[in-house]
Amino acid sequence: MSGPLSGYKVLDMSRVLAGPWAGQMLADLGASVIKIERPSVGDDTRSWGPPYLKDKAGDNCDDAAYFFCANRGKQSVTVDITQPEGQKIIHQLAGQCDVLIENYKVDGLKKYGLDYESISAINPKLVYCSITGFGQTGPYAKRPGYDFLIQGMGGLMSVTGAPDDEAGGPVKVGVAVTDLFTGLYAANAIQGALLERHQSGWGNILIWLCSMCRPRCWPIRLVTI
């Protein structure tokens, strides 16, 4: 696909919405995006229906429309990252890519040798984007984060729905806007990192992005390549 990111390669190891949304936007801009999915089940959202994708006869397929709304323009491959063979495949792919996106819990990929330190040693020019609920440090860092949880903790639910004097109360936004915003910020941060790499020649760029504080906590490890 042509576009301003044509020629760039992205390894998308994220799932559900925030990470896949970022990868989809990069694909829309012309990047070649390879999505990693679990064998047999794939991304969680493949089963999040109805609605489901229709086949030519108008019957429901096994894959939910939700999945295709966040993974447009990607190529999918199933890899078991818990096995040495799968980890080797990821290392090989990461060595050929410009960007890696993941939204595992903090240190979730470390035990598989797929964390930033391990991958950046293979590819010194890689932009590594890690999306979490609460950042990489602090008392909540290792907790999982979900859209509706962030909506509640961030106060967004308090400004939706009916007023309190009309028997109202906190109401979840109908669409997972926190995940969508996080994906938007991630895509912007990734493009900024790619531009920095192009202009300065710096590599080994690590982006830390969390749903609560967004891109203000993204440090860059500067290594001349």
Q: Which domains does the chain have, with CATH numbers?
A: 9-43+72-224 (3.40.50.10540)
Chain centroid to CA 15: 7
Tell me which of 12, 98, 115, 179 is the catalytic residue. Answer: 179
The token pair at 223 is: 């290594």
Distances (CA, A) of 2 to 8, 30, 33, 43, 187: 11, 5, 13, 26, 18
179: annotated active-site residue: yes
Contact in structure between 189 and 215 (CB atoms under 8 Å) = yes
Phi, psi of 185 (to 5 degrees): -60, -40
Whether pLDDT at 136 is above 70: yes
- Per-residue pLDDT of 29-42, as tens digits, reads 999 999 999 999 99
- Per-residue pLDDT of 208-224, as tens digits, reads 766 665 444 444 443 33
Contact in structure between 37 and 43 (CB atoms under 8 Å) = yes
Q: Indicate the pairing of strand 202-203 with strand 223-224.
A: antiparallel
- Residue 94: predicted pLDDT: 97
Chain centroid to CA 167: 38
* Cα distance between residue 131 and residue 22, in whole Å: 10
Q: How confident is the model at residue 128 (pLDDT cuts 50, 70, 90)?
A: very high
- Per-residue pLDDT of 146-167, as tens digits, reads 888 888 888 888 888 888 788 7
**42-51, 84-93, 208-217, range with the lowest pLDDT:** 208-217
Q: pTM for this structure?
A: 0.89
Phi, psi of 85 (to 5 degrees): -65, -40
Contact in structure between 202 and 196 (CB atoms under 8 Å) = yes
Amino acid at 51: P
